[in-house]
Amino acid sequence: MIFTPRRKRAFAAVVGIATASAALTGCSTGAGSGSAASGTYTFWDPYPQFDASSAWTKLVEKCGTEAGVTVKRTGYDTSDLTSKALLAGQQGNSPDLLLVDNPVVSTLADAGLLTDTAETKTSTSDIEKNILAAGQVDGKTYGVPIGANTLALYYNKKILSAAGVDPAKITDWTSLTDALAKVKAKGDKGITFAGIGTEEGSFQFLPWYWGSGANLDQLDSADAVSALSLWTDWVNKGYAPNSVINNTQTTSWQEFLTGDFAFSENGTWQLAGVKASKIDYGIISIPAKDGGAAPAPTGGEFLTIPVQKDSARYAVSAKIQSCLTSTANVVSTDNTLSYVAPTKAAQEKQVADNPDLEPWVTAVGDAKGRTSDNLGTKYPKISEQMWKAVQNSLSGSQSAEDALKQAQTAAAAATK
């Protein structure tokens, strides 16, 4: 595949995404550029933690066997995977199947490295629209989501009870801030979240940003300023610890697991950990400024089929993709990966098997993709300026208004 100027720009964008997404979530020589009759199909994913004995690897191998081929799976760290995938595509040596973090899809598609579902004859009609949107660019869909996760508020029932707070009455920013004030007055700690200067920080800020009514194409709107002012005021008043400016989702979660905090903004993936702890916990949706649930961002990966020199390989790749995303296997996969399934049928089965997932199914239903609103490859550039603004405001080096004005100027220049 020719390395056009457009693809050079896409390469730079992917490297940026790789760096940004490393906090969230060697190169194989067996790429999928051979004949469709070769019997071996390559599969790359962002799960290096799963070895050959894992349920995930066995499922991938099983789907290959059912398609009549052998699947050679390689797991990479997210940052490695995105850059290696782009380089392999430019060299005409892409894997047959590629599982990537959903914000990366638009950049790889823009580089011309992915097939769309029309080309591979893949049906997406039963997938929830808000989850599928993260893989859509200019009216085309690239790949299939294997599941989604998102954010909500875990709370400590013991602390809220002692402070006289009824979590059911926390419906907007005012009622949440009032609850934090009551918790602090009782001598306990309020809320912890991840405000680190990476994509993780943007991921955690987005529910408050979108919940204010702000849009990502105007970072310095009055609504956007209200969202950043909320976080900054919480830190200044001692409702949130100073550590949030450096917190990842892991470190903020460790703070909650001490049992000292009333609330933690975190994700589906922490459910097993909180159940294993001694904390009597509950979960509520992140409230929007004026009431209702804020749209939190969808996390999760898309199972894509990269462009191959031999297009005859797509038929088998599509069979493997279909197997991995079938209702039965999605439920099995998403229980392993702590995802909410992307279809209603699979979600219902998940909740039947594990009722603790019900609030998370609701949260995912209210969520939206980070690259939605036709942002596509603009998103990582906007996100970078947003997390910089969060850092500047939380640190006290700029007011929320000035930090976001600076961010908007930089984002506008970067996305021309």
Is residue 220 pLDDT above 70, yes or no?
A: yes
Mean pLDDT calculated for residue range 313-325: 96
Higher pLDDT, 203 or 26: 203
Confidence of residue 18 (pLDDT cuts 50, 70, 90): very low
Q: What is the pLDDT of residue 330?
A: 85
Rounded Cα–Cα distance for residues 41 and 314 (Å): 11
**Total count of domains within the chain:** 2
- Domain boundary (366, 384, 403) is at 366
Higher pLDDT, 25 or 110: 110
Question: Quick one: 271 and 228 in the same domain?
Answer: yes
Q: What is the pLDDT of residue 272?
A: 87
Q: What is the pLDDT of residue 292?
A: 95
Confidence of residue 38 (pLDDT cuts 50, 70, 90): low
Q: Which range marks the domain in which residue 159 is found? A: 151-296+375-414
DSSP-derived 3-state class of residue 197: coil
Contact 123, 96 (CB under 8 A): no
Whole-structure pTM value: 0.84
pLDDT tens, position by position, 350-394: 999 989 899 999 999 999 999 988 898 899 999 999 999 999 999
Question: Quick one: 65 and 214 in the same domain?
Answer: no
pLDDT tens, position by position, 287-297: 999 999 999 99
Question: Quick one: 213 and 284 in the same domain?
Answer: yes
Question: Quick one: 333 and 321 in the same domain?
Answer: yes
Higher pLDDT, 338 or 56: 56
Question: Quick one: 143 and 158 in the same domain?
Answer: no
Confidence of residue 327 (pLDDT cuts 50, 70, 90): confident
Question: Quick one: 249 and 284 in the same domain?
Answer: yes
Rounded Cα–Cα distance for residues 286 and 274 (Å): 18
CATH code of the domain containing 175: 3.40.190.10
Contact 332, 55 (CB under 8 A): yes
Question: Quick one: 125 and 179 in the same domain?
Answer: no
Question: Quick one: 125 and 267 in the same domain?
Answer: no
Question: Quick one: 387 and 410 in the same domain?
Answer: yes
Q: Which of 74-78, 100-104, 185-189 has the highest mean pLDDT?
A: 185-189
H-run or E-run covering 281:
strand 281-284
Percent of all residues in the chain with a pLDDT value above 70, rounded to a whole number:
90
Rounded Cα–Cα distance for residues 294 and 412 (Å): 25
Q: What is the pLDDT of residue 5?
A: 30
Residues in CB range of 186: below 8 A, 6 or more apart: 159, 162, 163
Is residue 78 pLDDT above 60, yes or no?
A: yes
Is residue 11 pLDDT above 60, yes or no?
A: no
Confidence of residue 333 (pLDDT cuts 50, 70, 90): confident
pLDDT tens, position by position, 251-271: 999 999 999 999 999 999 999
Rounded Cα–Cα distance for residues 153 and 283 (Å): 6
Q: What rounded mean pLDDT belongs to the chain?
A: 89
Question: Quick one: 217 and 194 in the same domain?
Answer: yes
Question: Quick one: 187 and 272 in the same domain?
Answer: yes
Rounded Cα–Cα distance for residues 298 and 40 (Å): 33
Rounded Cα–Cα distance for residues 321 and 316 (Å): 9
Mean pLDDT calculated for residue range 157-176: 98
pLDDT tens, position by position, 110-143: 999 999 999 999 999 999 999 999 999 989 999 9
DSSP-derived 3-state class of residue 43: strand
Is residue 24 pLDDT above 60, yes or no?
A: no
Rounded Cα–Cα distance for residues 358 and 52 (Å): 31
Tokens of 161: 């009870």
Rounded Cα–Cα distance for residues 35 and 368 (Å): 39
Residue 121, amino acid: K
Question: Nearest Cα to 119, choosing from 303, 304, 302, 314?
Answer: 314
Higher pLDDT, 176 or 372: 176
Is residue 315 pLDDT above 70, yes or no?
A: yes
Contact 390, 231 (CB under 8 A): yes
Rounded Cα–Cα distance for residues 99 and 337 (Å): 13
Is residue 15 pLDDT above 70, yes or no?
A: no
Contact 68, 267 (CB under 8 A): no
How many of the other CB atoms lie within 10 Å of CB of 53? 7
Q: Name 261's bridge partners.
A: 189
Mean pLDDT calculated for residue range 164-178: 98
Q: Is the Cα dihedral 316, 26, 24, 328 positive or negative?
A: positive
Question: Quick one: 242 and 169 in the same domain?
Answer: yes
Rounded Cα–Cα distance for residues 173 and 210 (Å): 13
Is residue 32 pLDDT above 90, yes or no?
A: no
